[in-house]
Each structure stands twice: as structure tokens, then as C-alpha cells.
DNA sequence: TTCCTAATTTAAGCACTGTTCAGATTTGCC
DNA sequence: GGCAAATCTGAACAGTGCTTAAATTAGGAA
């Protein structure tokens, strides 16, 4: 299924059409937006017939799931990086929130595919709960640092949920024209995002804080 | 264009196909979900040929806009009602938030059409800014009651934006499986919603509070 | 009434979509 | 070499958004 020696000719038409399809989909998404993401266009992009993808993905939804999966991986990484780069202290959760929204702004089409898929599944993907790199773990850890009680599980879950919802809500609307004058008044996009997050107060409000 | 006397036969095939189409679209949306909402299916539902709708709506997008418009009207009304019914005091903004999310939960397909359209326009519709019944006005008024300074325009806008984003984020994710155990632990959906909103603190945090 | 114009509806068609299926091709393995 | 499984193609089906030309209808003017 894959060349075992160096210099091997490619084993079949593509060797790894699965990957080629996901890559083609991502490229199309970035270049033309979510509307252009058709099964046939992806096949075309990978240089293959319209029926070929169906040997690697049960349906369009499954291909979208694969694309979304890579998006969530990127988001996981972006949040982890933001956490590492931000100085410890209260500003750290805000920094996480800003990083989240910036990811959505930088990859609008991908972000849309990610949540379209999540809404269809009525669930965020499991990978977000990975204990090491998962975004939920990153948020939870940061919330604990900032005043959360690590033993108050429910409260911590609640604070994580609240922070995630806040970030998603802002991510979807940050580009809306309604907020242009606020961005101007506050001196740009990032100050605006920080101001909104400060308004919302992502900090945990726990019984025994 | 419309019968002027009582007992008049209908003036043409439909008399008001515009309305009939929007109604058919809403019915289809409720019955089969957003995926089933095709131009042709709507035409079919209104008992008319596939080309007929194009004399009343430039495009599918415009039809969706009309459906979305009615959704926003309903949301305006739901928020105004929630405000009237909730006792004055701090709980009122939370009540607004809960009403917002409940609307989204009660009309998931419609809510999706509303925001799909908004994302395409990169803007929420203008009607939300109606000074009397508009939802923004309702939220802003409630924020002032609860401690906002009516003269601090920017801060008030910021608090409104934060509350709206919070509500939208929660609305889109409240149905996700991730939160099931939180709903159980807190005793149901509404207590969960209230708890999340309390976590987020929708109350205005203003300089001169 | 009759005639004309403008609005409305239809039928047919184009290019596209997701998906399936039968047949061809290639692969790794015995 | 031969075989079964995996992979790819070509053709097809039903459905989509939308356009165009022709038919129908309505309301007003003569």
C-alpha cells in the first residue's frame, strides 16, 4: 500500500488518496470558501474521478468530518501555544479567548466547517478532551491557575463551558459589521476582543474561590 | 392583486405567492430540517412550478432572508415578553439570556437559517436595532436597569455585545452532548443555562457602576 | 365590451450536485 | 504465475439552483 524502498514508484494511482482528498478539500476551502466544497470539486482537485472518494469516505459528511478533525487539531495547538506564550496570571484566560477568536478569524471557512459538523453531530469532537493537548484540558488548567478550585469538578466544568461558549459566540460575531464602531473606539480588533472578554469575565466564580 | 369584495374568487393562482412561499419554507423547515429546504421543495409545498418563486425572490438567498427575517421578529418578541414577565432586578438579564437560548432550542432549524444568513451577510439584521421592539434595545434597556450607566455609550454597547455573544455561544452549544452531565448535575436545562450565565456574568462592568 | 400591457406562471433546459453500480485496473500475497 | 481484495473509472440517476421563451391572467383604457 506504500512504497517500502527508497525510489519506489508510486504503488497505485495516488498511494494515499485519503490524504490527497483531505488536502484538496482544505485547499479548496481556503481558496474558494465553504460553498465551493463539493465532493466532485475535491475529487477534481485531487486529479481523480468523482466516484473515487467514495472508496475512502462513506459520504461527504465523513470527508467534512476529516477536514474538521484537522481544524480541531489546529485549534488545540493554537490554544496550547497561546497558553505557553502568555505570562501567568489573570490575563491568561483572556489570552486563550483571544487566541480562540483569532483562530476563527484567520480560518473562517475551516471554522465554519468545524462547527457545521459539530452541530450535525450535536457534539464537539472527543479529541478536545485529550488530557494533554486537548483544548478543554488547556482551558481547565488555565482556569485552575487563575483561581479555580481543582477539586470542585462541577464548578470547574461550568466555568470551562461558559468560557468556551463565550469564545464561540464572539468568534462567530466578531466579524459582524455591528461591532465595527466598537473596534474603532477601542483601538482595533484585539483590544475589542479583550474588552468583550473582560466584560464577560471568564474567571471562575466558585463557591470557595 | 387581491380580491376587493367578499366572496371574490382568488385573483390569480395564489394571490399572494410571496407569503405562501415563506410559509411553505417555514413549514418545511420545521418538518424536515434545514437540509430539506430547497427552492424546488418550497415551490412544491406552495403548489407551484419550480420557476415561479423567482418572480418573488431574486434567489434562494433572498427567500432564506425572508424566512430569517420572520425568525428575528419572533426572537424580538420572545425577548420583549421575557423582559416583561421577569421581575425587575438582577435576574432580569439572566432571564433574557435564558429566553434567548430557549428560543434557539425550540426552533433549532429556524435559528440555524437565521445565523447562516447573518454569517453570509457578515451582519445581524437591522431590525434588531429598532428602538422600540428591537432585541438590542430590549437588552440595552435591561442592562441599564441592572446597573449600567446610560450615558456611557461605549461601555453599554460593549456590555450588550458581550451579552449577545454569550447567549449565541450558549444557544449553539446547549444541545451538545458534552453538557449533558452538567445539566443532570444542576437539575435540568434551565438551571444549567442560568448557571452558565451566572458564570459569565452578563451584568455590566462599567467604570462608574 | 374589447384590446393592450404588465404581472405572473409554466415547461423545458443547462450546468451542477451527491451517490451508486458495473466493469476495468492495479496491488500485495500465495 | 495466478488470485482475491483494494482501488479507480465511466456512465448513470435523481435532485439541485437558475434562466429563457412562451403561455396565461389581471387590471385598466378605449
CB B168 within 8 A of CB A172: yes
- pLDDT for res A111: 98
Alpha carbon of A44: minimum distance to chain B alpha carbons (Å): 25
Alpha carbon of A194: minimum distance to chain B alpha carbons (Å): 11
Q: How far apart are CA A190 and CA B127, in angstroms?
A: 28
Q: Which among A194, A134, A132, A127 has a CA at the least distance from the CA of A166?
A: A194
pLDDT band at B31, cuts 50/70/90?
very high
End-to-end CA distance of chain A: 56
Q: Which of residues 47-76 of A touch strand D (CB under 7 A)?
A: 48-52, 55-56
Task: Give exposure, B104-129, as e/b (b: 16+ Cβ within 10 Å).
Answer: beebbbbbbbbbbbbbeeebbbeebe
Q: Which among A112, A115, A110, A99 has a CA at the least distance from the CA of A31?
A: A110
B205, pLDDT greater than 80: no
Q: What's the mean pLDDT when you consider all of chain A?
A: 90
User: What are the DSSP E strand ranges found in B4-95?
Assistant: none
Give the chain B residue whose CA is nearest to the CA of A196: B162
CB A100 within 8 A of CB A128: no
Task: Tell me the domain boundaries of chain A.
Answer: 9-57, 60-200
Contact between B199 and A158 using a beta-carbon 8 Å cutoff: yes
Q: Verify if strand C has an atom below 7 Å from the CB of B11.
A: no
CATH of A60-200, one of 2.60.40.10, 3.40.50.10540, 1.10.357.10, 3.20.20.70: 1.10.357.10
For residue A208, the Cα-to-chain-centroid distance in whole angstroms is 32
Cell triple for residue A37? 466544497
Q: How far apart are CA A43 and CA A54, in angstroms?
A: 10
Q: How far apart are CA B56 and CA B19, in angstroms?
A: 10
SS3 B99: helix
Q: Verify if strand C has an atom below 7 Å from the CB of A62.
A: no
Any idea what the Cα angle at residue A67 is, between residues A136 and B104, rounded to 5°?
A: 60
Determine the nucleotide nearest to B17 by Cα–C1' distance.
C8
Q: How far apart are CA B172 and CA A123, in angstroms?
A: 10
B209, pLDDT greater than 70: no
Contact between A204 and B201 using a beta-carbon 8 Å cutoff: no
- pLDDT for res B10: 41
Average pLDDT over residues B21-43: 97
Give the chain B residue whose CA is nearest to the CA of A35: B120
- pLDDT for res B132: 87
Q: Which among A198, A8, A208, A178 has a CA at the least distance from the CA of A90?
A: A198
Collect all residues with Cβ–Cβ distance below 8 Å to B165 and sequence separation of at least 6: A166, A169, A170, A172, A173, A196, A200
A88-92 contacts: CB < 8 A, separation 24 or more? A88/A145, A89/A146, A90/A146, A90/A203, A92/A142, A92/A145, A92/A146
SS3 B126: helix
Q: Verify if strand D has an atom below 7 Å from the CB of A121.
A: no
The model's pLDDT over B67-97, given as tens digits with 9 standing for 90+, comes to 999 999 999 999 999 999 999 988 899 999 9
- pLDDT for res B71: 98
- pLDDT for res A124: 98
pLDDT band at B206, cuts 50/70/90?
low
Q: How far apart are CA A137 and CA A96, in angstroms?
A: 12
Alpha carbon of A47: minimum distance to chain B alpha carbons (Å): 29
The model's pLDDT over B47-70, given as tens digits with 9 standing for 90+, comes to 999 999 999 999 999 999 999 999
Please check whether the domain covering A9-57 is classified as CATH 1.10.10: yes
- pLDDT for res A90: 84
DSSP line for A102-117:
HHHHHSHHHHHHHHHH
For domain B11-57, give the CATH number: 1.10.10
| Residues of chain B found within 8 Å of residue A119, distances taken between Cβ atoms | 112, 172
Q: How far apart are CA A15 and CA A20, in angstroms?
A: 9
Alpha helices in chain B (DSSP H): 17-32, 39-45, 60-85, 91-106, 108-121, 135-145, 153-173, 180-186, 189-200
How far is the CA of A20 from the CAs of A14, A16, A71, in angstroms?
8, 6, 16
Q: Name the CATH superfamily for B59-200.
A: Tetracycline Repressor, domain 2 (1.10.357.10)
Q: Which among A157, A151, A144, A154 has a CA at the least distance from the CA of A203?
A: A144
Around B84, how many Cα atoms within 13 Å sit in the side-chain half-sphere? 7
Which phi-psi region, left, alpha or beta, contains residue A15 (left: φ > 0; alpha: ψ -120 to 50)? left
Nucleotide C11, nearest residue via CA and C1': B49
Positive/negative CA dihedral, B123, B129, B133, B135: positive
Q: Which nucleotides of D are covered by protein (CB under 7 A)?
A: 6-12, 15-21, 25-27
How many CB atoms are located within 10 Å of the residue A108 CB?
19
- pLDDT for res A208: 37
User: Which residues in chain A come in under a pLDDT of 70?
Assistant: 1-13, 204-209
- pLDDT for res B3: 34
Rg (C-alpha) for chain B, rounded Å, is: 20
Q: What's the mean pLDDT when you consider all of chain B?
A: 90
- pLDDT for res A205: 65
Q: Which among A130, A110, A111, A126 has a CA at the least distance from the CA of A23?
A: A110
The crossing angle, in degrees rounded to 10, of helices B91-106 and B108-121 is 100
How far is the CA of A46 from the CAs of A24, A32, A126, in angstroms?
6, 16, 29
Q: Which among B17, B51, B52, B21 has a CA at the least distance from the CA of B37?
A: B21
pLDDT band at B2, cuts 50/70/90?
very low
Q: How far apart are CA A110 and CA B129, in angstroms?
A: 30
| Residues of chain A found within 8 Å of residue B199, distances taken between Cβ atoms | 158-159, 161-162, 204-205
- B27 CA vs D11 C1’ separation (Å): 37
Amino acid at each position: 500500500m506504500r512504497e517500502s524502498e527508497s525510489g519506489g514508484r508510486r504503488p497505485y494511482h495516488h498511494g494515499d488518496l485519503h490524504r490527497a482528498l483531505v488536502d484538496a478539500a482544505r485547499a479548496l476551502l481556503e481558496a474558494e470558501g465553504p460553498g465551493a466544497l463539493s465532493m466532485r470539486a475535491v475529487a477534481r482537485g485531487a486529479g481523480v474521478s468523482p466516484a473515487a472518494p467514495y472508496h475512502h469516505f462513506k459520504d461527504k459528511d465523513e470527508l467534512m468530518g476529516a477536514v474538521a478533525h484537522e481544524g480541531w487539531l489546529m485549534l488545540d495547538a493554537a490554544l496550547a501555544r497561546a497558553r505557553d506564550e502568555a505570562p501567568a496570571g489573570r490575563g491568561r484566560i483572556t489570552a486563550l479567548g483571544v487566541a480562540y477568536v483569532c483562530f476563527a478569524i484567520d480560518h473562517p471557512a475551516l471554522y465554519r466547517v468545524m462547527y457545521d459538523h459539530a452541530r450535525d453531530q450535536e457534539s464537539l469532537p472527543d479529541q478536545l478532551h485529550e488530557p494533554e493537548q486537548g483544548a478543554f484540558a488547556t482551558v481547565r488548567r488555565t482556569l485552575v491557575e487563575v483561581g479555580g478550585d481543582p477539586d470542585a469538578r462541577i464548578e470547574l466544568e461550568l466555568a470551562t463551558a461558559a468560557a468556551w461558549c463565550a469564545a464561540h459566540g464572539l468568534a462567530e460575531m466578531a466579524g459582524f459589521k455591528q461591532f465595527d464602531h466598537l473596534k474603532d473606539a477601542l483601538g482595533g480588533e484585539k483590544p475589542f476582543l479583550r474588552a468583550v472578554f473582560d466584560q464577560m469575565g471568564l474567571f471562575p466564580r466558585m463557591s470557595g474561590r
